[in-house]
A and B are shown apart, each in its own frame.
Chain A
């Protein structure tokens, strides 16, 4: 039951064929999360290294940056986890992911035809999904521990030291994953429109997620929705 077709995914015949991949709610969810992550990255990096402290100017002052960063974190946490419950099923790992990963060189050298047919997400996308999930959990938990304004007195100073280190390591990792996510969406042409218009072309789905496309096409033919 892993590759259950997600509600809202549908094919529209035409030239080219278009395929609904993300509905308006999912896209709104994605962009709230994305904007939060970018603002958190900027404000967090400003306090991570003196060479980027000038970025606090975008928030008005260092005091404002310090005050607003945790609240944006709360927005991101809530927004991401609404998103999480829409996506997690389609991101469960499968055996085909190992095959796909073992042929990642073919993907990078432009021989995607040598890779197995995939459902809605490939192993790279799943890695980003679960990586973000795990790191956001670490970041919110450690972030609360070092949220000076409200929670300082509830945690010992040694615990706060562990938390501030965990928070910065997790932040570095999530920024790396964020860069990977953005770049993969740009390098794989035709991907961005999935999160802007909500649709991809049939050719994009055929090329990258053929199993998903075949399932959607099969569903149309057999008529009743699941």
Chain B
């Protein structure tokens, strides 16, 4: 069995073995030599059509239910977001923006389902110091393996989308798994299955791009000239994509990055700093050992001790070498 093609099918009644295993890993955090994957799964993607979303939060409920998380009861601060931000118990969140379109002077209610984008070039995985705490499967899913997570928060710094959340209870990092455990048994993500309007669809990445094209053509025919697919190339493309009616300005959708990429600070930290740093420390250590072995140590001579004894006894000693001593200061 390869990757599932849809989120709408129902599961069989018989138990199934997981179809995602160690042989499907294409990246593993803090692991230099990962054996090559034993096969190449078809890349999957979740497509979120923002123009079809009604903000019902069925996706959030489905996510909580499937992942068995327990978000705290929130409080109303006059905004539709509930909870107010992603948390270790809320892997996906509807973000609401009231935006006045300057061209039409009409109010547009923009609703974006936020969550992990499953980048092809994941910044979280690049930043992670714990071997195997973050993995990427050949179908494109980026997953956190919690038993290997140490709670350092490096993934938070690596992520260009501000997605991972560290639990204060168990000090491990949490985010959307793209329902890897469902995908492993031929099912689509819970949010896509629950969506009542078909705003969230799931399938192979190629199919989702094709599906998006149809939606974009439709939106353009209705006056959304800048409608387009959000599949940002700065992170190698993503396995969660959006259809945006204003794809020329993604930031209006609750600060969706216009051109996300792994921060150069993170690249420098995980790249040149690491290699130059290790080289510098090694050179210092090896240089010291070589000098210690081959150079003559700086030993105190017998006459130094004699001079010190004479000085203490008040006998004459060589005078200060005033040509080179510090006079005055």
A85 within 8 A of B: no
Residues of A contacting B277 in the complex (Cβ-Cβ under 8 angstroms): 48, 168-169, 171-172
Q: Does A11 contact B (CB under 8 A)?
A: yes
Contact A148–B304 (Cβ < 8 Å): no
Residue among A15, A180, A204, A206 with the highest chain B CB neighbour number at 10 A: A206
How many inter-chain contacts with C-beta < 8 Å in the A-B complex?
194
Contact between A94 and B305 (Cβ–Cβ < 8 Å)?
no
A residues in contact with B308, CB < 8 Å: 16-17, 201-203, 205-206, 213
Interface centre among B162, B266, B297, B304, by most chain A C-beta atoms within 10 angstroms, is: B304
Chain A residues 6 to 64 lying within 8 A of chain B, measured CB to CB, are: 11, 13, 15-17, 46-51, 53, 56, 61-63
Whether B304 pairs with A66 at a CB distance below 8 angstroms is no
Q: Which residue of chain A is the closest to B29 with respect to CB atoms?
A: A50
In the assembled complex, the CB of A130 is this many whole angstroms from the nearest CB of chain B, namely 18
Known interface pairs A116-B324, A169-B277; A157-B314 also in contact (CB < 8 Å): no
Chain B residues positioned under 8 Å from A213 (CB to CB)? 308, 311
B73 CB to closest chain A CB, in angstroms?
A: 20
In Å, the complex CA distance between A175 and B273 comes to 14
Contacts of B269 in A (CB 8 A): 161, 164-165, 168
From A2, A116, A180, A189, give the contact of B299 (CB < 8 A): A189
- B residues 177-224 in Cβ contact with A at 8 Å: none
Judge whether B300 and A190 touch: CB under 8 Å. Answer: yes
Residue of B nearest to A191 (CB): B298
Instruction: Say whether A172 contacts B300, CB under 8 Å.
Output: no
A65 / chain B contacts, CB cutoff of 8 Å: 150
Q: How far is the CB of A16 from chain B (nearest CB, A)?
A: 5
B84 on interface, CB distance cutoff 8 Å: no
A63 touches B151 (CB 8 A): yes
Which residues of A sit under 8 angstroms from B268, Cβ to Cβ?
Answer: 165
Asked if A53 contacts B129 (CB within 8 A), the reply is yes
Q: How large is the interface on A (under 10, 10 to 19, 20 to 34, 35 or more residues)?
A: 35 or more
- From A162, A187, A190, A220, B265 is in contact (CB under 8 Å) with A162
**Contacts A2-B329, A161-B263; A179 near B284 (Cβ below 8 A):** yes
The distance from the CB of B320 to the nearest CB of chain A, in whole angstroms, is 6
A5 at the interface (CB under 8 A from B): no
Tell which of A46, A51, A62 has the most Cβ of chain B within 10 Å.
A62
User: Nearest Cβ distance between residue B130 and chain A, in whole angstroms?
Assistant: 5
- C-alpha gap A131/B154 in the complex (Å): 27
- A161-B285 CB under 8 A given contacts A172-B277, A217-B311: no
**A-B complex: 10 closest residue pairs judged by Cβ atoms:** A202-B308, A96-B326, A203-B305, A148-B153, A203-B304, A62-B150, A50-B30, A172-B277, A116-B324, A183-B288
Question: Could you give 29 example pairs across A and B, Cβ below 8 Å?
Answer: A16-B309, A17-B309, A17-B312, A47-B150, A50-B31, A50-B129, A53-B30, A53-B131, A63-B150, A63-B171, A66-B152, A110-B296, A146-B153, A148-B156, A149-B168, A158-B265, A161-B263, A161-B265, A161-B266, A162-B265, A164-B154, A164-B269, A165-B273, A175-B281, A180-B284, A187-B297, A203-B300, A203-B301, A204-B300
Residues of A whose CB lies within 8 Å of any CB of B are 2, 11, 13, 15-17, 46-51, 53, 56, 61-63, 65-67, 94-96, 99, 107-108, 110, 112, 114-117, 119, 146, 148-149, 152, 157-158, 160-162, 164-165, 168-169, 171-172, 175-176, 179-180, 182-183, 186-190, 201-207, 210-211, 213-214, 217, 220-221
6 more CB-based (< 8 A) A-B contacts, given A116-B324, A202-B304: A16-B309, A49-B274, A50-B32, A63-B151, A95-B328, A190-B299
